[in-house]
Amino acid sequence: MRWEKDSGRMPLAYLAPPAFFVIAYVFSMLGMGGSQLYIPILYWLGMDFKTEAIPLGMLLNVVNSSSAALTYGRKGFISWRVAMPFAVTMVLFAPLGVRLNITLPEKPLLVFFAVFTAAAAMLMLSGWKPARRETDSRPHLLVGTVAGSVLGTITGMIGRGGGSFIVPILYLLGLGPRMAAATSSFVVTCSGLSSFLAHLVTAAQPDWVSWLLCVAAVLLGSQLGSRRMATKMSSKDVKRVFGFVLLGVSALILLKDVVFG
The amino acid occupying position 29 is M
Domain of residue 196, residue span: 5-259
The segment with the largest mean pLDDT, out of 25-39, 78-92, 151-165, 237-251, is 78-92
Please provide the size of the chain in residues: 261
Whole-angstrom distance, CA of residue 117 vs CA of residue 155: 11
pTM: predicted TM-score of the whole model, two decimal places: 0.77
Q: How many structural domains compose the chain?
A: 1
The Cβ of residue 53 has, within 10 Å, a number of other Cβ atoms equal to: 22
The 10s digit of each residue's pLDDT in 127-136 is 666 555 544 4
The 10s digit of each residue's pLDDT in 82-97 is 899 999 998 899 888 8
Residue 186: predicted pLDDT: 94
Would you say residue 221 has pLDDT above 90?
yes
The 10s digit of each residue's pLDDT in 154-186 is 878 777 777 777 877 787 777 877 788 889 899
Q: What is the DSSP string of 75-113?
A: HT---HHHHHHHHHHHHHHHHHHHHHHHHS-HHHHHHHH
